[in-house]
Amino acid sequence: MNKELVERYATAVPRYTSYPTAPHFSPRIDSAKYGEWLGGVAAGTHVSLYVHIPFCDRLCWFCGCNTKQVQRYDPVATYLASLHGEIATVGARLADGVTVSALHFGGGSPTMLEPADIARLNEALRLGFAFEPDAEISVEMDPNDMTEDRFDAFAAIGMTRASLGVQDFDEAVQAAINREQTFEQTKGVVDGVRARGVRSVNLDILYGLPHQTVESVDKTVHQCISLDPDRIALFGYAHVPWMKKHQTMIDETALPGAWERFVQQDHAAKILVAAGYQPIGMDHFAKPGDSLAVALREGRLRRNFQGYTDDRAPVLIGLGTSAIGQLPQGYVQNSPASGDYQRRIAECGLAAVRGYELSQDDVMRSAVIEKLMCEFKFSRDWVRGKFGDGASAIIEEADYLAGADAEGFFARDGDTYRVTDIGKPFVRVVASHFDAYFGAGKARHSVAV
């Protein structure tokens, strides 16, 4: 790969976990509108749940999540009472026969919950929603939180997948991001969840961190492979201090540049492929038998706010502060402030403060962008089959892009448009050409490489 090319296209573009992206959400979508949408979910529909725990007992400086550090457990207990209220309200709005096929606990740190509260939260969810017997239950875990009783509590609620953030095992890198976590701690958690029957383990690695080098990435990736995870996510650190003020604690002079980031990512990806992991989209790797890899082969891979997924549910319900839901009509997001969230739940049981109602053009562009992000291609027949005459706008834009792309990122082969091998690291840039909102407003994004 050409260094000048990488540096030229390491531009700020969305990650496309939704379309339109969250900066375009509007307060016109409120709790009243959300309630209508929930009531319109038909019996027999499968839904996914995302439960947000917006607290940590330490603040990692690299983190881009909506979370805050707490020294006492009281605010967590108060928040959980409101969360139980939202669960009851949302569950009551859904028709009988709506079932939950997947549940994801994210944060923050869900693993800072006390074991008794884990059990009570599970009870509230089971009372509020009808779960399918084989529902996937995934938990984001901080190894520093884990105790034997927490292992047992999550096993008792039926956890099927554990996701652990590794970032980098290098001590200098960890000190620079305020995230101390040894390989031995991480191995202990992997061993602990597997001993309790958890079928799938995911590890997250970051590149582009302060003081990170190809050598530290190399060592971290090999250490992660030695734990035999089913999936590995290889994310680029998103330095967005204008959004996340705690990132100002990171020494920007120690951050690798665009070319260094690319080399780190490319090196790590080659190691993972050589170890037998299959590339999934732009930043995931999975064993060939993992459900993500199977979904990719079968054309079922999807992308949502949790990243790449094999979840087939057409409805994602977000619970808790800042949580985002996705319904056929559009997106909805809860209030990001704990106090305001709790006030709104007390008043009406829902806390939606903004969102986006999709037009038919939005639905089409969302589908095309998702195809590019998941499979790096889409066909004329596919887009026409889904959207009929409306597909002509996308086809015209794709033809223009394929003809005008001097870098060779995007090409047309007969009926199929594809992101080329040289263009795959820049798939977010390619996708932005089909984004009718990109460049509008004041949204700022992380770099594409």
Per-residue three-class SS string for the chain: CCHHHHHHHCCECCCCCCCCCHHHCECCCCHHHHHHHHHCCCCCCEEEEEEEECEECCCCCCCCCCCEECCCCHHHHHHHHHHHHHHHHHHHHCCCCCEEEEEEEEECCHHHCCHHHHHHHHHHHHHHCEEEEEEEEEEEECCCCCCHHHHHHHHHCCCCEEEEEEECCCHHHHHHHCCCCCHHHHHHHHHHHHHCCCCEEEEEEEECCCCCCHHHHHHHHHHHHHCCCCEEEEEECCCCCCCCHHHHHCCHHHCCCHHHHHHHHHHHHHHHHHCCCEEECCCEEECCCCHHHHHHHCCCCEEECCEEECCCCCEEEEECCCCEEEECCEEEEECCCHHHHHHHHHHHCCCEEEEEECCHHHHHHHHHHHHHHHHCEEEHHHHHHHHHHHHHHHHHHHHHHHHHCCCCCEEEECCEEEECCCCHHHHHHHHHCCCCCCCCCCCCCCECC
d(Cα 35, Cα 206) in Å, to the nearest integer?
A: 38
Q: Which tokens sit at 348?
A: 């009406």
**Confidence (pLDDT) at 444:** 45
Per-residue three-class SS string for 284-320: EEECCCCHHHHHHHCCCCEEECCEEECCCCCEEEEEC
d(Cα 66, Cα 342) in Å, to the nearest integer?
A: 16
Q: Could you read off the pLDDT of 378-399 as tens digits, one per residue?
A: 999 999 999 999 999 999 999 9
Q: Is residue 360 a contact partner of residue 389, using CB atoms and an 8 Å limit?
A: no
**Confidence (pLDDT) at 445:** 46
Burial of 255 per CB tally in 10 Å (0-12, 13-18, 19+): middle
1.25.40.10, 3.90.1570.10, 1.10.10.10, 1.10.10.920: CATH of 360-432: 1.10.10.920
**Confidence (pLDDT) at 8:** 86
For the chain, what are the domain ranges? 14-357, 360-432
Q: Is residue 181 a contact partner of residue 143, using CB atoms and an 8 Å limit?
A: yes
d(Cα 248, Cα 100) in Å, to the nearest integer?
A: 40
**Confidence (pLDDT) at 449:** 59
Q: Could you read off the pLDDT of 233-275 as tens digits, one per residue?
A: 999 998 888 878 888 889 899 999 999 999 999 999 999 999 9
Q: Which CATH superfamily is domain 14-357 in?
A: tm_1862 like domain (3.80.30.20)
Per residue of the chain (449 residues), give pLDDT as tens.
788 888 888 888 899 999 999 999 999 999 999 999 999 999 999 999 999 999 988 888 877 777 788 889 999 999 999 999 999 999 999 999 999 999 999 998 999 999 999 999 999 999 999 999 999 999 999 999 999 999 999 999 999 999 999 999 999 999 999 899 999 999 999 999 999 999 899 999 999 999 999 999 999 999 999 999 999 999 999 888 887 888 888 989 999 999 999 999 999 999 999 999 999 999 999 999 999 999 999 999 999 988 899 999 999 999 999 999 999 999 999 999 999 999 999 999 999 999 999 999 999 999 999 999 999 999 999 999 999 999 999 999 999 999 999 899 999 999 999 999 999 999 999 999 999 998 765 444 455 55
Region of residue 316 (left: phi > 0; alpha: psi -120 to 50; beta: else): beta
Closest CA to 315 of 121, 127, 129: 129
Dihedral of CA atoms 64, 66, 72, 75 in degrees, nearest 10, equals: 180
CA 36 vs. chain centroid, Å, equals 26
Q: Which tokens sit at 29?
A: 């979508």
Q: Which tokens sit at 39?
A: 């009531």
